[in-house]
A and B are shown apart, each in its own frame.
Chain A
Amino acid sequence: MQFSMRTHLGKVRKTNQDYIGLYKNKNDQVLAVLCDGMGGHNAGDVASEMAATHLGHAWSKNNLLSIEEIKQWMTQEVNVVNKEIHKKSLRFEDFQGMGSTIVVAVFLETVVLFGNLGDSRGYILTNDQLIQITEDHSYVNELMKKGQITMNEAKKHPNRNVITRSLGIASKVEMDYFSIPYTDFLSVLLCSDGLTNQLSDETIHSILRKDIDKEEKVDTLLDGALENGGTDNISIVYAEKA
Chain B
Amino acid sequence: MEIGERINKRYKIIKNIGSGGMANVFLAKDLILERDVAVKVMRYDFRNDETSIRRFKREALSTTELYHPNIVSIYDVGEEENPYIVMEYVEGMDLKKYIHENHPISYKNVLAIMDQVLSAVNYAHEQGIIHRDLKPQNILMDHEGNVKITDFGIAIALSQNSITQTNSLLGSVHYISPEQARGSMATKQSDIYSLGIILYEMLIGEVPFNGESAVSVALKHFQEELPSLRNVDTRIPQPLENVVLKATAKEKEHRYKSAEEMRVDLATSLFPERSHEEKFVPVIDDNGETKVLNPIVPPKKVDQVSDTPIESSTKAEGNIQKKDTKKKKWPWLFLLLLPLIVGIIYIVSLPNDVSIPDVAGMTETEAEEALTEQSLVIKETLFEASDEFDEDTVTRTNPRIGSIVKENSEVTLYISTGKETMPVADYSNENYERTRAELTELGFTVESTKAFHESIEEGNIISQSIDEGAEVVPLETTIEFVVSSGRPRFELIDLSGYSENSVMDYAEDNNINVAVTYRSSEDIPEGQVITQSPEAGETLYANSRISVEISLGPEEIEVQTVTRTVNITYVDPESEEADATNQVIIYLEDNERSLDEIHQQFEITEDREITLTFLLSPDSVGAYRIERDGEIIEENNTIRVDGQESEDTD
Whether the Cβ atoms of A149 and B160 lie closer than 8 Å is no
Given contacts A14-B48, A160-B161, contact A149 B166 (CB under 8 A): no
Given contacts A99-B166, A148-B219, A166-B166, contact A154 B183 (CB under 8 A): yes
Selected contact of B164 from candidates A40, A119, A154, CB within 8 Å: A119
Contacts of A4 on B, CB cut-off 8 Å?
A: none
The residue in chain B whose Cβ has the minimal distance to the Cβ of A156 is: B183
Is B321 in the interface zone, CB < 8 Å from A? no
Is A146 in the interface zone, CB < 8 Å from B? yes
Whether the Cβ atoms of A153 and B215 lie closer than 8 Å is no
Selected contact of A162 from candidates B45, B156, B169, B219, CB within 8 Å: B169
Instruction: Determine the distance from Cα of A161 to Cα of B183 in the docked complex, in whole angstroms.
Output: 12
Instruction: Determine the distance from Cα of A158 to Cα of B601 in the docked complex, in whole angstroms.
Output: 100
Distance in angstroms from A238 CB to nearest chain B CB is: 22
Interface residues of A in 129-167 (CB under 8 A from B): 139-140, 142-143, 146, 148-149, 153-154, 156-164, 166
Instruction: Determine the distance from Cα of A231 to Cα of B48 in the docked complex, in whole angstroms.
Output: 10
Given contacts A153-B182, A158-B159, A158-B183, contact A193 B219 (CB under 8 A): no
Is B107 in the interface zone, CB < 8 Å from A? no
Is B487 in the interface zone, CB < 8 Å from A? no
Given contacts A143-B182, A153-B183, A157-B183, contact A163 B215 (CB under 8 A): no
Given contacts A146-B219, A148-B182, A148-B219, contact A164 B49 (CB under 8 A): no
The residue in chain A whose Cβ has the minimal distance to the Cβ of B21 is: A97
Whether the Cβ atoms of A13 and B166 lie closer than 8 Å is no
Whether the Cβ atoms of A38 and B164 lie closer than 8 Å is yes
Contacts of A96 on B, CB cut-off 8 Å?
A: 19
Instruction: Determine the distance from Cα of A153 to Cα of B182 in the docked complex, in whole angstroms.
Output: 8
Interface string of B169-184 (1 = CB under 8 A from A): 1000000000001111
Distance in angstroms from A44 CB to nearest chain B CB is: 9
Is B67 in the interface zone, CB < 8 Å from A? no
Whether the Cβ atoms of B213 and A161 lie closer than 8 Å is no
Selected contact of B222 from candidates A38, A139, A142, A148, CB within 8 Å: A148
Whether the Cβ atoms of B45 and A193 lie closer than 8 Å is no
Given contacts A140-B183, A149-B183, A153-B183, contact A14 B161 (CB under 8 A): no
Whether the Cβ atoms of A12 and B46 lie closer than 8 Å is yes
Instruction: Determine the distance from Cα of A193 to Cα of B162 in the docked complex, in whole angstroms.
Output: 9
Contacts of B169 on A, CB cut-off 8 Å?
A: 139, 159, 162
Whether the Cβ atoms of A231 and B49 lie closer than 8 Å is yes
The residue in chain A whose Cβ has the minimal distance to the Cβ of B16 is: A93
Interface string of B106-126 (1 = CB under 8 A from A): 000000000000000000000
Whether the Cβ atoms of A149 and B182 lie closer than 8 Å is yes
Instruction: Determine the distance from Cα of A221 to Cα of B168 in the docked complex, in whole angstroms.
Output: 31
Given contacts A12-B49, A162-B169, A231-B49, contact A36 B164 (CB under 8 A): yes
The residue in chain B whose Cβ has the minimal distance to the Cβ of A43 is: B43
Contacts of A154 on B, CB cut-off 8 Å?
A: 183
Whether the Cβ atoms of A14 and B45 lie closer than 8 Å is yes
Distance in angstroms from B166 CB to nearest chain A CB is: 5
Is B47 in the interface zone, CB < 8 Å from A? yes
The residue in chain A whose Cβ has the minimal distance to the Cβ of B160 is: A161
Contacts of A162 on B, CB cut-off 8 Å?
A: 164-166, 168-169, 214
Interface string of A183-207 (1 = CB under 8 A from B): 0000000000100010000000000
Instruction: Determine the distance from Cα of A12 to Cα of B53 in the docked complex, in whole angstroms.
Output: 12
Whether the Cβ atoms of A163 and B162 lie closer than 8 Å is no
Is A49 in the interface zone, CB < 8 Å from B? no
The residue in chain B whose Cβ has the minimal distance to the Cβ of A96 is: B19
Is B218 in the interface zone, CB < 8 Å from A? yes
Whether the Cβ atoms of A197 and B164 lie closer than 8 Å is no
Is B163 in the interface zone, CB < 8 Å from A? yes
Given contacts A149-B183, A157-B183, A159-B183, contact A41 B166 (CB under 8 A): no
Is A16 in the interface zone, CB < 8 Å from B? no
Whether the Cβ atoms of B48 and A38 lie closer than 8 Å is no
Q: A142-B215, A161-B161 are in contact. List 18 more A-B contacts (CB 8 A).
A: A13-B48, A38-B163, A40-B43, A99-B166, A148-B222, A149-B182, A153-B182, A157-B183, A159-B169, A161-B163, A161-B164, A162-B164, A162-B168, A162-B214, A163-B164, A164-B166, A164-B214, A193-B164
Chain B interface residues (CB < 8 Å from chain A): 19, 21, 43-49, 156, 159-169, 181-184, 213-215, 218-219, 222
**Please, could you name 15 A-B residue pairs with CB atoms under 8 Å apart, sorted by A?**
A12-B48, A14-B48, A38-B165, A41-B45, A149-B183, A153-B183, A156-B183, A157-B183, A160-B183, A161-B160, A162-B166, A164-B214, A169-B167, A197-B162, A232-B162
